[in-house]
């Protein structure tokens, strides 16, 4: 009688020396034909020869896994006598299904273990590589940051001077028109002049929009003038703005990759709980 219980194969074999059957417990995956025959000889000292044969009469090697024998028809011969084992047909159907399931489970666990170990090593190597790359990029950025800060400070100063100069010109214009209105001429004479001055200012604002495609706002004008002054100064000082911007983009990309790599979900670690 052959049964499959709790992942183990139990085979009941009648012994030759004694009129009784003995149950042998085998592991379906790791046990071999030799293990089964050795256990049979150890149990019954009257057994001189024992072997398992195929239907074609070929002897099965002792190193053959036991499950590859049990899932098909075979003959057990003890002292050149055939020993019948009952219940093999129904047992073979159940064994094939259970062994396949266990093999699939073992393969899945091995694949998961291999993936976890290798991904951890890979993540560590990638993290070290990104840290080294980030350190190198930041070292290249240090002199450029100092040069850029100096150019930015000078550009801000020049832009502020231009804004105060514009305020001064507007004050001079106001005083000049007031002088002509109350001292040189009358309001009747200066009214059309101030109208055309105002209209000319509006035309200038609309021309600014046509050229820059931006609304005439003082903050935007300031930023535009600052950038213009900055790029002119950078060109004179041979400061490569494109290289600086590319270096900034590279640092942001490396930092983003590093944060994503250090994410607990990427490392299969539990999320830190808030205190």
pLDDT in 10s for each residue of the chain, 275 residues: 666 666 677 777 877 777 778 888 777 677 788 888 888 888 877 788 888 888 778 888 888 887 777 767 777 888 878 877 765 655 555 555 555 555 666 677 776 666 666 666 667 777 778 888 888 888 888 888 888 888 888 888 888 888 888 888 888 888 888 888 888 887 887 888 888 888 888 888 888 788 777 777 777 777 878 888 888 888 888 877 888 888 888 888 888 887 877 666 555 544 444 44
To 10 degrees, what angle do helices 241-261 and 88-179 make? 140
Q: What is the pLDDT of residues 18-44, one digit of tens each?
A: 777 888 877 767 778 888 888 888 887
Where would I find the H helices in 180-238? 187-212, 218-236
77 and 146 share one domain:
no
Report the distance separating Cα 71 and Cα 77, nearest Å: 18
Report the distance separating Cα 191 and Cα 194, nearest Å: 5
Q: What is the pLDDT of residues 210-255, one digit of tens each?
A: 877 777 777 777 787 888 888 888 888 887 788 888 888 888 888 8
Q: Does residue 111 belong to any structural domain of this protein?
A: no
Q: Does residue 113 belong to any structural domain of this protein?
A: no
141 and 226 share one domain:
yes
What is the side-by-side strand order in the sheet with 81-83?
50-53, 75-78, 81-83
Average pLDDT score, the chain: 76
Q: Does residue 93 belong to any structural domain of this protein?
A: no
CATH number at residue 29: 3.10.20.90
79 and 199 share one domain:
no
Q: Does residue 238 belong to any structural domain of this protein?
A: yes
71 and 144 share one domain:
no
Q: Does residue 29 belong to any structural domain of this protein?
A: yes
Overall domain count for the chain: 2
147 and 254 share one domain:
yes
Q: Does residue 145 belong to any structural domain of this protein?
A: yes
Where would I find the H helices in 48-87? 66-70
46 and 177 share one domain:
no
The whole domain housing 153 covers: 122-261
137 and 253 share one domain:
yes
Q: Does residue 105 belong to any structural domain of this protein?
A: no
Neighbours of 22 (CB within 10 A): 14
Structure tokens at 52: 């398992």
Structure tokens at 146: 């100092």
pTM of the model: 0.44
């Amino acid at each position: 009688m052959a049964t499959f219980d709790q992942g183990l194969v139990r085979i009941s074999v009648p012994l030759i020396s004694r009129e009784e059957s003995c149950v042998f417990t085998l592991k379906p995956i790791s046990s071999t034909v030799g293990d089964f025959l050795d256990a049979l000889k150890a149990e019954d000292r009257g057994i001189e020869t024992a072997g398992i044969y195929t239907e074609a009469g070929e002897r099965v090697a002792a190193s053959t896994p036991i499950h590859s024998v049990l899932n098909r028809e075979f003959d057990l011969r003890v002292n050149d006598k055939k020993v019948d084992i009952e219940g093999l047909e129904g047992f073979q159907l159940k064994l094939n299904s259970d062994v396949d399931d266990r093999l699939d489970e073992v393969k899945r666990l091995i694949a998961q273990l291999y993936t976890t170990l290798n991904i951890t090593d890979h993540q560590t190597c990638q993290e070290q590589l990104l840290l080294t790359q980030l350190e190198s990029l930041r070292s290249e950025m240090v002199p450029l940051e100092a040069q850029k800060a100096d150019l930015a400070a000078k550009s801000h100063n020049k832009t502020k001077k231009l804004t105060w100069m514009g305020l001064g010109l507007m004050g001079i214009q106001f005083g000049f028109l007031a002088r002509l209105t109350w001292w040189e001429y009358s309001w009747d004479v200066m009214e059309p002049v101030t109208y055309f001055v105002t209209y000319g200012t509006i035309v200038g604002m609309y021309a600014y929009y046509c050229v820059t495609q931006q609304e005439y706002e003082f903050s935007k004008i300031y930023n535009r003038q600052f950038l213009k002054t900055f790029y002119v100064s950078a060109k004179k000082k041979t400061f490569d703005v494109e290289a600086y911007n590319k270096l900034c983009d590279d640092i942001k990309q490396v930092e983003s990759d590093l944060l994503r790599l250090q994410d607990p979900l990427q490392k299969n670690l539990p999320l830190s709980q808030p205190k």
